[in-house]
Amino acid sequence: MPATANPISAAPRVGANGWHLAALLGGNVALALGPWFVRLADTGPVSAAFWRLLLVLPAIAFLAWRETRGLPRPPRRLILLVLAAGAFFALDLAAWHIGIGLTKLGNATLLGNSGSLILMLWGLVALRRWPSGSEALAIGAAVAGAAILLGRSLEISFGTLAGDLFCLFAGLCYAFYLLPAQRARESLGQWQVLTLICLAGAPLLLAFALLLGEPVLPGNAGWWPVAGLAVSSQLIGQGLLVYSLKHFPPLVIGMALLTQPAIAAAVGWIAFDEVLAAPDIAGMVLVGAALVLVRAGRPGG
């Protein structure tokens, strides 16, 4: 296949600037708050994921309508691609939300973003060349930081193993969500992509919740945890992430996703008194350094 026909462009399709990087990182900050809201909700974990997609669907659909007024309908093949991404996103959320209740917030976010390593590897394949010096340093720092955080996870307790496995599976599904979503963003608007993803994912999540016998409606905790989850994670977090997808190659996006464990670990420390030790901080610093290195190594970075 000619290099110009690569389905996921090795370089950003539209030039990235500081605002695009701020959107990418801001989306990851908002997404990192998700596990906190899931723990506060008293629906079932998969039910919380269903409300995450459903509650903001009217707002996202309205923004998509404004975004696409007067434009021709996208090809059916592209719509099917986004719907497939939505199905993987539903699997990601179902597994991740179950795992959140069985492990630490930092663990859940780290392993839930394990798909970032797949994106990094795919980014190197798409480049069709060996990584540059700064890219190699960035990859090494990202892998080392993730390994430190994962090692801390396994040292604390093997009681978190089931939750860790759920979150690891979620991370793999997340990569298979982001890759087709990035392809779709070459032609579709961000809200159009998110609307199709919510339409595909919400019915699947409701079906999963009912099959598991979960409580679907909120109880004494009320609606605010699931509403906060929907606004922070789906409307703001995914909105900013999907917006930034076409401005960065998979390598940068994969590394940006690894900033989420640092934020989630800090939330776990503040809200749930979870241990945050020096190795955790070292792992976070390495992941942050990786993003700086790979950004600095890009032209105009």
- Rounded Cα distance between 43 and 91, Å, is 18
User: Is 7 among the domain residues?
Assistant: no
Instruction: Name the residue type at position 24.
Output: L
Task: With 0.85 as the threshold, say if the pTM is over it.
Answer: no
Structural domain count, the chain: 1
**Torsional class of 12: left (φ above 0), alpha (ψ -120 to 50), beta (otherwise):** beta
DSSP 7: S
Q: State pLDDT tens for residues 100-126.
A: 888 776 667 667 777 777 776 776 666
User: Is 58 among the domain residues?
Assistant: yes
Q: State pLDDT tens for residues 146-188.
A: 667 666 555 445 667 788 888 889 988 988 898 888 888 888 8
User: Is 1 among the domain residues?
Assistant: no
User: Is 204 among the domain residues?
Assistant: yes
Q: Which range marks the domain in which residue 140 is found?
A: 16-296
- Rounded Cα distance between 301 and 296, Å, is 5
User: Is 108 among the domain residues?
Assistant: yes
User: Is 10 among the domain residues?
Assistant: no
What SS3 class is residue 71?
coil
